[in-house]
Amino acid sequence: MSNLVVCDHPLIQHKLTFIRDKDTKTKDFRELVDEVATLMAYEITRDMPLDTITVETPVATAQSKVLSGRMLGIVPILRAGLGMVDGILKLIPAAKVGHIGLSRDHETLQPTEYYMNLPTDATERLLIVVDPMLATGGSANAAIGSLKKRGCTQIKLMVLIASPEGVRAVQEAHPDVDIYAAAVDERLNELGYIIPGLGDAGDRMFGTK
């Protein structure tokens, strides 16, 4: 069973409150999502391997740590996942970015893939799939399934808000994929929205409603 890591750092929880607030305007919403993505990137990279190197300080020789060069890829699920990319790149500027376009049908709640573009060496990278919302889990599962079909094997999922149903769906379909969430909310409503959630992440990110 994959791990669920709830990133309950006070800074993340504080910012998430204003992301949820319906009166938060598009510009502030975008900035807050960007900031939370940076803070969550700190948590998701916690187990990155390190090498020890020798470095000369002004007064002595030190054995000190550097990242061992594990290659990363960030894969936003379009549209809303795009809003989390820059925040992660601030901490991991060498990461490459792939894109998966998925659209969830408002009635059936089934996702349709309309775009896929990955770095050529994606199969060698640890891929972080990002999307603000994990609702039914259909989109995340389709994205992860699509990556696996293309030979990618090291995958993590980063979301802002998950529903219990979405977490269960990903854990069942992809038990090897660890899930990082800033919050796990109460439930889905009859329209497939996370309650209390934040509404429609894509619309709030891009001001389309």
Does residue 137 touch ligand URA according to CB under 6 A? Answer: no
Q: Choose which of 98, 137, 138, 197 interacts with ligand URA (CB under 6 A).
A: 197
Smallest gap from Cβ 172 to ligand URA, in A, equals: 19
As a whole number of angstroms, the distance between CA 194 and CA 209 comes to: 18
Tell me whether residue 135 is annotated as binding: yes
* Residue closer to ligand URA (CB basis): 38 or 136: 136
* Residue closer to ligand URA (CB basis): 70 or 99: 99
Q: Choose which of 118, 133, 152, 160 interacts with ligand URA (CB under 6 A).
A: 133
Does residue 204 touch ligand PRP according to CB under 6 A? Answer: no
Does residue 45 touch ligand PRP according to CB under 6 A? Answer: no
Cα angle for residues 187, 190, 192 (degrees, 5° grid): 65
Q: Choose which of 76, 87, 111, 197 interacts with ligand PRP (CB under 6 A).
A: 111
Letters for 63-92 (x = contact with ligand PRP by CB under 6 A, - = none) are --------------xxxx------------
Q: Choose which of 12, 37, 72, 135 interacts with ligand PRP (CB under 6 A).
A: 135
Q: Which residues, in sequence order, are bridge partners of residue 126?
A: 72
- How far does CA 180 lie from the centroid of its chain? 7
Strands 99-104 and 4-6: unpaired
For tokens 């999502």, the residue is: 33
* Residue closer to ligand PRP (CB basis): 134 or 179: 134
Among residues 46, 123, 29, 137, the alpha carbon closest in space to that of 84 is found at 29
Helix (H) or strand (E) holding 103: strand 99-104
**Angle between helix 26-44 and 10-20 (nearest 10):** 150
Annotated binding site: 79, 104, 131-139, 194, 199-201
The site for ligand PRP (CB under 6 A) is made up of 77-80, 102-104, 109, 111, 131-140, 166, 192, 201-202
Annotated binding site for uracil: 194, 199-201
